Structure 1
Amino acid sequence: MDGTSATGQTGRTSATEETRGTSATGQTRDGRSEGDAVVVTRGLTKRYRGGQLAVDGLHLTVPAGSVFGFLGPNGSGKTTTIRMLMGLIEPTSGTAHVLGRPMPRSARAVLPHVGALIEGPALYGFLSGRDNLLRYDAADPTADPRTRTARVTAALDRVGLTAASGKKARAYSLGMKQRLGLAAALLRPRRLLVLDEPTNGLDPQGMREIRALVRELATDGTTVLLSSHLLDEIEQVCTHVAVMARGRLITQGPVAELAAGARGRLVVTTPDRADAARVLKEQGLADVVADGDRVSAEPPARDLAEVNAALVTAGVRVRGFAVERASLEDAFVALTGEGFDVAG
């Protein structure tokens, strides 16, 4: 299904904890049964010819009803993992269960309940957008041909392509092709929707519309597994997140918990930038950075009131003093020790 549109555990865990999997009772660490998850992998590994280890012992749990963000820099193993989950490639070892069934052995039973857009849609360029969807729907043996036209019309409307539905697909922009691929994935109600970079090529308005659609699908009960290189997108739309690096799972859990696990920054707003930076260093604060009228540093372990008092005693005019919440990007850098590669 390369290039085609086809039919966690909620507590934050370290990589070491994740390799231990679930408890003997078959529950994740928040007490949720594995039966409540739509995707469960245990020790999932993929090694290509030549010894390249793409995915290394992955333990992943995607809770039902979640919007699950899948993050990682280029070469981290995200797409390889998704391809194994969809039955496109065989794992070298380990197990993957989707909708409670082993993959790829149960692909024929599972995939009719899964919508997927992986590495961009494969389209017939000489056909219109509408005719492409009619072809996709006709290829589904479970689809009722009597209601085919209605399904295609509804899918086009849902992704905002009704007006362009008669245009040949080869004339579509990248963003329009992404929308058409998403429409193909939504021709039938799905229990799981797997999206690989769904906003790729979209303008800001299109990105907002797709995010709203993902939220709507989740509200309707569809679990969404979303791979993206846009950290702000994950923060805006996802309830849970998993971070991979160099083929291994670094952590997974609720987005809010992951961001909260990274330390924020103490930010002092003052016209006396140089003096403020000097005092913060004298107080033992690390990573002091001055930028404009803001001086930031890692928060100290002791009472922040003492730091503020030291600034005032030194004659620094403090106009703002606060600890800013860590972002998901801060958490990612703290976990992986590297910046986020937008090549994804």
Structure 2
Amino acid sequence: MPVIEVNGVVKRYRDVTAVDEVSLRVQPGQIYALLGLNGAGKTTLIRMLLGMIAPTRGSVHVLGAAVSAGDRSAWARVGYLVEAPAAYPELTVRENLELVRRLRRLPGVTANVTGVADVIDQLALTPYADRRARTLSLGNLQRLALAKALIHIPDLLILDEPVNGLDPAGVVEIRTLLAGLAHQHGTTVLLSSHLLAEVARLATRIGILHHGRLRAEHHADQLDRQRHRHLHLTTRDDTAADHALRAHGYHPHPADGGGLQLTDEHALTRPDQVATVLVHADVPPTRLVTVEEDLETYFLRIVGADHA
């Protein structure tokens, strides 16, 4: 049974459609990344998953139970971070977490519950444990918010832009932490982000949301196959090279910035044969390289039809 099941969900605010006919499934132990530009509808969808707002149409199930606005029945098994990190500013890091522990009615430490000291250590907050929250940097406030989401070792973790404000080392730490929760504890993770290159290192499945619609879904290991590739070459006589390649069944095109490009599969898999054709035609390549679309370019291509 999916941990998250979203069926035809629509959310409208008067004339604005924030989420438009979205359906998705998140399986147990999966790290699902919801990717989109700011304003794509990621936070709205997450708020519906948590029962903070009701969909205009469609249904949402979390951990096997239907979700409705104001229903908190599944929250005991869910950890979440939505939008900006929040904390009581005059309380210390330790006091904020102790308060969450009491509100969740958790014991101090058991085999299934992380103690306050443990989660402080887990999120690298030990040097700041006795500092008031108002004195923390944005990155450490984000760590505190993640600690609050993790303190009860949830079955499902829902995180909205979890690496906001973190330095590169902090991003790596959070990535390692989330991967460990999924692989060692079976925790299911749904996170939103606008950073494809980062989530590609972590997620097992990626959904691209744009203007409220789910534009594409891929398993992370399929991303490479979705990215465009071409063979770029230059010679001392590109016109003669074009004629020689066409005579051997290739389909060259002028490349931006000069030279020729080939997208033929046999050219991409055997560029040495392309070079051989050109050498025999007395127009040897002065440059021959396989160019692969980077992740950011792929992302912008997917949303590009509507991105201005």
TM-score tier (shorter)? 0.7 to 0.9
Distance 1:307-1:104 versus aligned 2 partners, 3 A rule:
same
Letter of the aligned partner of 2:304 in structure 1? G
Q: Is it true that 1:233 corresponds to 2:198 in the alignment? A: yes
Ranges in structure 1 where 5+ consecutive residues have no aligned partner: 1-34
State the partner residue of 2:95: 131
Tell me if the contact between 1:263 and 1:298 (Cα under 8 Å) persists in the aligned partners. no
Kindly state the Cα deviation for residue 198 of structure 1 after the two structures are TM-superposed: 1.1
Secondary structure of 1:55's aligned partner: strand
Give the 3-state SS of the residue equivalent to 2:104 in structure 1.
coil
- Kept in 1, the 8 Å contact 2:235–2:286? The answer is no
Cα deviation digits, residues 177-234 of structure 1 (max 9, x gap) = 0000000011111111111111111111111111111111111211111111111111
2:256 matched residue in structure 1: 289
- Matched ranges for 1:1-344 at <5 A: 35=1, 37-48=2-13, 50-104=14-68, 107-141=71-105, 143-144=106-107, 151-220=115-184, 221-268=186-233, 275=237, 279=241, 284-286=251-253, 288-290=255-257, 297=261, 299-300=263-264, 303-304=267-268, 307-312=274-279, 313-318=281-286, 320-322=288-290, 324=292, 326-337=293-304
SS of 1:109's partner is coil
Structure 1 residue 263 displacement after superposition? 2.4
CA offset at residue 120 of structure 1? 2.2
Structure 1 distance, partners of 2:137, 2:238, is: 51
CA contact under 8 A between 2:31 and 2:182: conserved in structure 1?
A: yes
**Unaligned residue ranges in structure 2 (runs of 5+):** none
- Name the CA distance, whole Å, in 2 between partners of 1:126 and 1:278: 75
Q: What CA distance in whole angstroms lies between the structure 2 residues aligned with 1:150 and 1:103? A: 27
Structure 1 Cα separation of the partners of residues 239 and 145 of structure 2: 52
* SS of residue paired to 2:74: helix
CA distance in 2, matches of 1:280, 1:118: 55
1:254 maps to amino acid: H
2: CA distance between counterparts of 1:67 and 1:250? 19
Deviations 1:135-165 (A, max 9, x none): 1222114x22577x97111111000001111
1: CA distance, partners of 2:260 / 2:126: 50
- Per-residue deviation at 1:338? 5.6
| Superposition deviation, residue 280 in structure 1 | 6.0
- Taking structure 2 as the reference length, the TM-score comes to 0.85
Residue 126 of structure 2: SS of its match in structure 1?
coil
Q: Is the 8 A contact 2:235 2:283 kept in 1?
A: no
Letter in 2 for 1:334: R
Contact 1:69 1:240 in 2 (8 A): yes
| 2:120/2:129 contact within 8 Å kept | yes
Which residue identity is paired with 1:251?
Answer: A
Q: Distance in 1 between matches of 2:74 and 2:200?
A: 29
| Structure 1 residues 331 and 150, CA gap change in structure 2 (3 angstroms) | closer
Decide whether aligned partners of structure 1 residues 214 and 340 sit closer, same or farther in structure 2, where only a CA change above 3 A counts: farther
Q: Could you tell me which amino acid in structure 2 is paired with residue 99 of structure 1?
A: L
Q: Tell me, in whole angstroms, the C-alpha distance in 2 between the residues paired with 1:229 and 1:44.
A: 21
CA shift at 1:131, angstroms? 0.8
Bigger radius of gyration, 1 or 2? 2
CA gap of 1:321–1:226, structure 2 versus 1, over 3 A, is same
CA shift digits 1:278-336 (9 cap, x unpaired)? 94698543472349xxx684612554556434543353345654364x44334323322
User: What CA RMSD, in Å, does the superposition of the two structures yield over aligned residues?
Assistant: 2.9
Residues 105 and 199 of structure 1: is their aligned pair in 2 closer, same or farther, counting only changes over 3 Å? closer
Q: Which moved more, 1:78-87 or 1:121-130?
A: 121-130
Instruction: Judge which range, 89-98 or 254-263, deviates more.
Output: 254-263
Partner SS, residue 132 of structure 1: helix
Change (3 A) 1:308 1:194: same
Q: Distance in 2 between matches of 1:157 and 1:280?
A: 62
Task: For residue 122 of structure 1, give the secondary structure of its aligned residue in structure 2.
Answer: coil
For this pair of structures, how many residues does the alignment match? Answer: 296
Query: Which amino acid is 1:216 matched to?
Result: G
Determine the C-alpha separation between the residues in 2 that align with 1:277 and 1:162.
Answer: 66
TM-score, structure 1 normalization: 0.77
Are the aligned partners of 1:41 and 1:96 in contact in 2 as well (CA < 8 Å)? Answer: yes
Give distance in 1, aligned partners of 2:54 and 2:197: 33
